[in-house]
């Protein structure tokens, strides 16, 4: 039991205000990848790439010095050196010392850019023992230096420069105390620079290692196709003639630009290992090392996101349509996303005017509207090409059908809900038609009204809906034998196909010898879907407690998720945004204000899921391409071991009947905390 000091005081003096770059130094992992300083290098390189995207630079030079400092030089416009009218300091000093300061919040100076948070290069400054910036513009060379994020020399002119020359050079020394590895990965840097050259045609990128004398340069005119073909090597592909000749597409719209190259290896092809030794630099296919990379504004998105979801959906719709037109689908066989995702190799590059990332490391795109844009463009372009190249289209369709047949042979068949068959499943369960539990999902929805909307919003092929009424029983201290007396809990147990079995709190989680058999589990994903308000969060907490305590194996094996419906809808002219909570709503409004969009801002707060129409619920919460799901993980998982949080102790304090005094103390001391890791 946690011991609280009765004499401890919580008042205004307890509140800390972190200023300048202190938040980065205190919690560097929130702003960058602390495994190695490679991400710092990417932040500086990305700033130079943004100049190239905007058309102001055509060369980026990276030099790794013998003292482990890194120097990045571009021939762009050069950082601003004039005095900011409001802050009273030079533009370069403002960029380097202030979080959320930059020229990329609006589209005035950069139509497409990766630096949307305004914290990237200031994080580099905060986590470097020394950083030097040289700027060439207006016929002069300027210099300013920093140590541990603090300015140590003012901006000054150090030399003259040719009138037509311009650019920026940043040299920094990473502070090794913040990183697990103090050195840069040369192969990772080379891979990044090559990818930038591929994705930005005409851009010349170079790398020089002063210690070894190694020097490389990259420049591509037809980058994507050559890049993907190189990864396949001499192995035959579906579109090969006889080797890889990928299908490529390059389309621009008013607010996006989409380019991709895609091809499939045949069953016997083995893709040569790509030159990067960092597996996080690419998405690896489950069966072979096929090159699968995605980028947003030339920033690698290692974890994918809505643009990859839309790309996959567009390809799937095209192939399904092609098979339907040519009557290639056998009875009882349908092509699933994973059937086309095997043997695939692709490079996807998307440029957005207002990209939303899941975090500062920008490894996953979360912009919902991007999925529909990419899916539509991919579907139209690929469908047209398949019907113009029917021989290659039929070869691809056969590959997808073979994968589908193999999947069905391996699948464990589950009998879905039928009127004349038993045992009886819960009456409120609207089951899916998919007989493969690995592809099916169950949404446990709060309330009949929300359940009705969810039934209309779902894809009935693989998504099942089961409404429950109000707040379920607090089962934290209940015995499993008594649980089934509750109709709601009985219905949940029958629907998922697993009997409850309590976890003993006196045993270390996950170490019990009594492992419950969940082979009868009827769904691969069980998603808790409740309102975004406090009542909905209470219901979600009770359901989480039920599964953690009585269906522990379901949680331990990664089957339990919590859906994240929005609490607010923000309309700005014809644009629509959704926000999960108050802070995200405020962030969206600030961003809209910076862009100075025309039109009145109208904010709607959803009272509940039932207030959302099925189309809104599908887009924001249920559709796999655009929803947000949080997976529940068990206390022995790595992130919990690192955090030191005893989850069972915390849940016991929050839910146990005899711990009201502990809850009161916790609310008094930590009730203002919005997120506990």
List active site positions.
446, 531, 533, 535
| Nearest by Cα to 404 from 342, 348, 356 | 342
Asked which of 189-193, 448-452, 521-525 is least confident by mean pLDDT, the reply is: 448-452
For residues 284 and 471, which has the higher predicted lDDT (pLDDT)? Answer: 471
Place of tokens 């607090």: 474
**What's the rounded mean pLDDT across residues 290-313?**
86
Q: pLDDT digits over 108-149, tens only?
A: 444 444 443 334 688 888 888 999 999 999 889 999 999 988
Alpha-carbon distances of 352 from 112, 283, 455, rounded to whole Å: 6, 21, 33
Q: Is the pLDDT of residue 419 over 50?
A: no
Alpha-carbon distances of 442 from 339, 501, 539, 569, 630, rounded to whole Å: 22, 20, 17, 26, 15
Cα–Cα distance measured from residue 673 to residue 677, given in angstroms and rounded to the nearest whole number:
10
For residues 648 and 186, which has the higher predicted lDDT (pLDDT)? Answer: 186
Q: pLDDT digits over 216-229, tens only?
A: 999 887 778 888 88
Cα–Cα distance measured from residue 219 to residue 550, given in angstroms and rounded to the nearest whole number:
58
- Looking at residue 597, its pLDDT comes to 54
**What's the rounded mean pLDDT across residues 596-614?**
80
- Looking at residue 314, its pLDDT comes to 93
> Rounded to the nearest 5°, which phi and psi values hold at 543?
-70, -40
Q: Is the pLDDT of residue 546 over 50?
A: yes
- Looking at residue 363, its pLDDT comes to 76
Q: Where are the alpha helices (DSSP H) in 186-292?
A: 186-199, 223-232
Residue 210's pLDDT band, with cuts at 50, 70 and 90, is: very high
For residues 457 and 512, which has the higher predicted lDDT (pLDDT)? Answer: 457
**What's the rounded mean pLDDT across residues 514-533?**
84
- Looking at residue 169, its pLDDT comes to 94
**What's the rounded mean pLDDT across residues 487-494?**
89
- Looking at residue 470, its pLDDT comes to 73
Asked which of 413-417, 434-438, 671-675 is least confident by mean pLDDT, the reply is: 671-675
**What's the rounded mean pLDDT across residues 432-455?**
87
Q: Is the pLDDT of residue 87 over 80?
A: no
| Nearest by Cα to 185 from 394, 33, 363 | 33
Q: What is the dihedral of CA 145, 150, 154, 160, to 10 degrees?
A: 20
Q: Is the pLDDT of residue 674 over 50?
A: no
- Kindly report the average pLDDT of the chain as a whole number: 79
- Looking at residue 351, its pLDDT comes to 85
Residue 241's pLDDT band, with cuts at 50, 70 and 90, is: low
- Looking at residue 515, its pLDDT comes to 62
- The most confident of 89-98, 351-360, 613-622, by mean pLDDT: 613-622
Q: Is the pLDDT of residue 276 over 50?
A: no
Spatial neighbors of 26 by CB under 8 A, at least 6 apart, are 18
- The most confident of 75-79, 83-87, 206-210, 254-258, by mean pLDDT: 206-210
Asked which of 234-248, 314-328, 661-675 is least confident by mean pLDDT, the reply is: 661-675
Cα–Cα distance measured from residue 400 to residue 415, given in angstroms and rounded to the nearest whole number:
25
CB 208 within 8 A of CB 215: yes
- Looking at residue 480, its pLDDT comes to 76
Q: pLDDT digits over 11-46, tens only?
A: 555 445 455 565 666 666 566 677 788 888 988 998
CB 405 within 8 A of CB 333: yes
- Looking at residue 647, its pLDDT comes to 75
Residue 271's pLDDT band, with cuts at 50, 70 and 90, is: very low
- Looking at residue 410, its pLDDT comes to 75
């Amino acid at each position: 039991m946690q011991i609280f000091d009765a004499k401890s005081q919580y008042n205004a003096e307890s509140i800390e205000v972190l200023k300048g770059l202190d938040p980065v130094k205190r919690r560097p992992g929130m702003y960058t990848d602390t495994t190695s300083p490679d991400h710092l290098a990417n932040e500086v390189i990305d700033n130079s790439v943004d100049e190239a995207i905007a058309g102001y630079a055509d060369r980026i030079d990276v030099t790794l010095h013998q003292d482990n400092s890194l120097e990045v030089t571009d021939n762009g416009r050069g950082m601003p050196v004039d005095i900011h009218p409001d802050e009273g300091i030079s533009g370069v000093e403002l960029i380097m010392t202030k979080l959320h300061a930059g020229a990329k919040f609006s589209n005035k100076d950069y139509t497409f850019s990766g630096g949307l948070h305004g914290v990237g290069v200031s994080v580099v400054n905060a986590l470097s023992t020394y950083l030097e910036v040289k700027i060439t513009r207006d016929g002069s060379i300027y210099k300013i230096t920093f140590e541990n994020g603090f300015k140590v020399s003012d901006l000054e002119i150090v030399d003259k420069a040719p009138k037509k020359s311009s650019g920026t050079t940043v040299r920094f020394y990473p502070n090794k105390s913040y990183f697990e590895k103090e050195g840069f990965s040369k192969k990772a840097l080379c891979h990044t620079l090559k990818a930038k050259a591929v994705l930005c045609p005409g851009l010349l990128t170079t790398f020089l290692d002063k210690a070894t004398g190694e020097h490389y340069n990259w420049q591509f005119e037809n980058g994507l196709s050559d890049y993907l073909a190189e990864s396949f090597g001499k192995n035959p592909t579906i579109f090969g003639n006889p080797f890889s000749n990928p299908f490529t597409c390059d389309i621009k719209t008013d607010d996006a630009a989409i380019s991709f190259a895609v091809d499939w290896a045949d069953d016997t092809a083995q893709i040569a290992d790509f030159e990067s030794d960092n597996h996080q630099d690419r998405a690896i296919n489950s069966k072979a090392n096929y090159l699968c990379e995605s980028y947003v504004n030339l920033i690698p998105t290692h974890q994918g996101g809505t643009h990859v979801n839309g790309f996959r959906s567009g390809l799937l719709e095209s192939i399904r349509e092609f098979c339907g037109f040519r009557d290639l689908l056998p009875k009882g066989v349908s092509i699933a996303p994973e059937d086309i995702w095997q043997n695939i190799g692709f490079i996807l590059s998307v440029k957005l005017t207002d990209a939303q990332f899941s975090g500062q490391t920008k490894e996953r795109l979360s912009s919902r509207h991007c999925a529909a844009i990419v899916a539509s463009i991919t579907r139209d372009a690929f469908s047209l090409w398949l019907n113009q190249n029917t021989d290659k289209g039929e070869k691809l369709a056969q590959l997808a059908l073979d994968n589908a047949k193999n999947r069905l042979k391996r699948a464990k068949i589950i009998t879905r809900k039928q009127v004349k068959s038993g045992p009886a499943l819960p009456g409120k369960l609207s089951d899916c038609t998919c007989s493969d539990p690995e592809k099916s999902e169950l949404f446990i929805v709060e309330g009949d009204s929300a359940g009705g909307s969810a039934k209309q919003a779902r894809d009935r092929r693989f998504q099942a809906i089961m409404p429950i009424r109000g707040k379920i029983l607090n089962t934290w201290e209940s015995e499993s034998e008594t649980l089934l007396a509750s109709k709601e809990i009985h219905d949940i147990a029958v629907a998922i196909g697993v009997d409850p079995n309590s976890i003993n709190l006196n045993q270390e989680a996950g170490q019990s010898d009594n492992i419950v058999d969940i082979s009868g589990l009827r769904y691969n994903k069980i998603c808790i879907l409740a309102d975004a308000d406090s009542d909905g969060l209470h219901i979600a907490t009770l359901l989480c407690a039920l599964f953690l305590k009585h269906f522990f194996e379901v949680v331990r094996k990664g089957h339990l998720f919590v859906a994240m419906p929005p609490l607010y809808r923000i309309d700005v002219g014809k644009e629509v945004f959704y926000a999960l909570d108050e802070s995200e709503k405020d962030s969206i409004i600030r961003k809209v204000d910076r862009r100075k969009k025309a039109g009145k801002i109208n904010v709607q707060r959803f009272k509940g899921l039932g207030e959302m129409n099925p189309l809104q619920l599908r887009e924001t919460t249920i559709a796999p391409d655009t929803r947000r799901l949080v997976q529940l993980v068990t206390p022995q998982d790595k992130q919990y071991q690192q955090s030191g949080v005893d989850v069972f102790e915390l849940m016991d304090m929050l839910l146990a009947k005899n711990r009201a005094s502990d809850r009161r103390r916790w609310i008094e001391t930590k009730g203002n905390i919005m997120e506990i890791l």
